[in-house]
Amino acid sequence: MKKLFASFTSALAIFAFSLPFSTSVKSAEFFTIGTGGATGVYFQVGNAICKMVAKLQSAEHGRKKGTDKAYRCAAPSSGGSTYNIGQIQQGEFQFGVAQSDWQYHAYNASKPDKVKPFKDLRAVFSAHPEPFQIIARKGSKIKDWKSLKGKKVNIGNPGSGQRGTFEVLMESHGVNKSYFGSTTELTSSEQSGALCDKKIDAFGYTVGVPNAGVAQSTDGCGAYIINLTTPQVKKLVADNPFYAFATIPKGTYKTSKKDVTTFGVMASVVTSASVSEEMVYNVVKAVFENLDDFKKQHPAFANLDPKKMIKDGLSAPLHPGAVKYYKEKGLM
């Protein structure tokens, strides 16, 4: 026991000495970024941000420049977009990744049944595009929206962006859950396994491309993504600024024999007006000053363009801490 205690205290000492700011900074501030399922792209966004924040902190510490506050962050997996927005509103998360449609509806209080109105929601920047995808099981005979009728479909867990977007899609086609044979509420990390195990015939997922979760079912058990080009989808795109047509190029997954056309949104990083200007400024600075490194963190980030990141898919006002940085850098 004594030995155990001794090794525990020495481990603690090593840990304390290995913290680069433990002796020289005035204070350390901790924040959390809400993401999505562990096999999704939001998880990669959140963790890439934390990595860039740590990188900026150690660079500035070395040069004795910038903030004398040390920022520490964590980006745990979560239920997804609307869950993240709710947690930011409650002050549990300081940042979160959210689909542009749910950012819009939260700020404008336009779908209170799906996302709680949140006037203090603030945009930070947008990241990768997220096509809404229906992934069908090999042998399911699903080829379009119509042939989903009577099938076992995963509509996503409550709190996820895809769940809300799937509901919007059903509503726009004038149907409800009874259109399908049955529906499940599996999380994004459960749905691919369930598809390959034939527990479900299809699932809906709003996610960046490429993505490990989708690959698990396409490359893993021959599932494929269907086109979504009904007149109702076209109307959704025509009527809403946060939707656009999206293509999943052929070759993306093993079963991507042709380009797939669907509609999609942007992934965006959001925060609250009550988060400090200094914290948001530092997060934005960390990402934009290390953008080349950030882009390398996931293939879905390859085409990130600063000019688009500060404009596209942002319907809540930009947080003043972000505006400060964008103005300083001449981006605005």
Q: Which residues bind ligand GLU (CB under 6 A)?
A: 36-37, 40-42, 80-81, 99, 130, 160-162, 188, 206-208
DSSP H helices, the chain, are: 2-18, 42-63, 81-89, 100-108, 161-172, 188-196, 212-221, 231-239, 277-289, 291-295, 306-309, 320-328
Nearer to ligand GLU by Cβ, of 41 and 121: the residue is: 41
Q: Other CB atoms closer than 10 Å to residue 219's CB: what's the count? A: 15
- Tell me how far apart the alpha carbons of residues 114 and 327 are, in angstroms, rounded to a whole number: 35
Nearer to ligand GLU by Cβ, of 79 and 321: the residue is: 79
Give the chain's length: 332
Least CB distance to ligand GLU at residue 67 (A): 30
Nearer to ligand GLU by Cβ, of 41 and 279: the residue is: 41
Nearer to ligand GLU by Cβ, of 80 and 210: the residue is: 80
Sorted by sequence, the CB contacts under 8 Å of residue 276 that are 6+ apart come out as 321
- Tell me how far apart the alpha carbons of residues 72 and 282 are, in angstroms, rounded to a whole number: 11
Least CB distance to ligand GLU at residue 5 (A): 42
Least CB distance to ligand GLU at residue 228 (A): 16
> What are residue 296's DSSP bridge partners?
none
Least CB distance to ligand GLU at residue 171 (A): 18
Nearer to ligand GLU by Cβ, of 154 and 206: the residue is: 206
Least CB distance to ligand GLU at residue 219 (A): 18
